[in-house]
Amino acid sequence: MTVRMVDERGSSSTCPVCRRKVPKPQGRRFSCPHCQSRGPQVAEGALESSAVTSTGSFLARAVADARSDAERRAELLSLDVLRAAAADLPPARGLRAAVRRGPDGPRVIAEVKRRSPSKGDIRIDLDPAALATAYAAGGASAVSVLTEPRHFAGSPDDLLAVRAAVELPVLRKDFITNRYQVWEARTWGADAVLLIVAALDPPALRALLDEAAEAGLDALVEVHTLAEAETAADAGATLVGVNARDLATLEVDPHRFAAVRQALPDGTVLVAESGIRDRAGVQTAADAGADAVLVGEALVRAANPTTAVRQLLTSSDWRSEIDRQRASAATKPFPAER
């Protein structure tokens, strides 16, 4: 398999297949010692994107940026090469199965997110591998990773680090509008991709669902309105996230999940997204029918992410009982010495 390698500043380059750092070659060609890809060197700056001047909504700008970046990556590495690389990978872990609600209650998809358009920098210098490991220790069922660089400061390297650190399913969260992005997600180690209905017309949504299935990936289809939920259902989506955040205003409506989920058929695995910060929020989503919740900012900001995940998963009834037991133990007199 022959690919063109990306030349960067410093003493290393990045392989566009496995995205790992490799020594910078002295000549015009070099190979990746990790995935055995080889090919000609690409000049520094070849991946830089021109400024986007769109004056539309945040979603329109983000989609345009993501599409522009993907087109530039496709110039360096063809879709056929990505598909060939994906053929050598082990099967993806099933996100839908992992986040379906179990007897113990709703699941948690914990997110690795450095910044957001609504909050600015959240934890820009986070260690994605350490954070994902902490999430797993707390009982998260999956990890979501932002790979979008301009608005969320994410990168493929974050996803690669998480993939290497945990055995949980990993969701690539980005503004995906073409099949190239689906296949690169697969080669980076993602187990699922996010498809935003507001960014896709119905034929494109159906096509990307088919492409994800061909790549062996689950697709979390994100909706914001009843009409979008109907579109997702018509396209055959079986894993749907209801995002409480308005993409035009970036405001959160805590009642959106309960209203929108009514348009989704029985059997759909439902994920509540945005605005969930504590167990009360998890319980509200669960009472409205959520199988899982996707939580980012609250966990990234937590001093102890492992404990924060556990608290999301622990019902208030259980915690009250634990508190009662602790109080009882604290007030019991010690046995008298003989």
Residues catalogued as catalytic:
111, 113, 173, 222, 243, 273-274
Give the span between the Cα atoms of 45 and 30, in whole angstroms.
18
Give the span between the Cα atoms of 61 and 167, in whole angstroms.
34
Which H or E run contains 173? strand 170-173
The counts of H helices and E strands in the chain are 14, 15
- In total, the chain counts a number of residues equal to 338
For residue 194, the one-letter residue type is L
**304: which residues sit within 8 A by CB, 6+ positions away?**
134
The answer for 195, left when phi > 0, alpha when psi is -120 to 50, beta otherwise, is beta
Contact assessment for residue 8 and residue 21, using Cβ atoms and an 8 Å cutoff: no
Closest CA to 191 of 45, 319, 90, 276: 90
Dihedral angle, C-alpha 96, 101, 107, 109, nearest 10 °: 20
Give the span between the Cα atoms of 96 and 117, in whole angstroms.
28
For 115, 224, 273, the CA distances from 253, given in Å and listed in that order, are 21, 10, 11
Give the span between the Cα atoms of 68 and 150, in whole angstroms.
12
Measured at the CA of 290, the angle between CA 286 and CA 295, to 5 degrees, comes to: 90
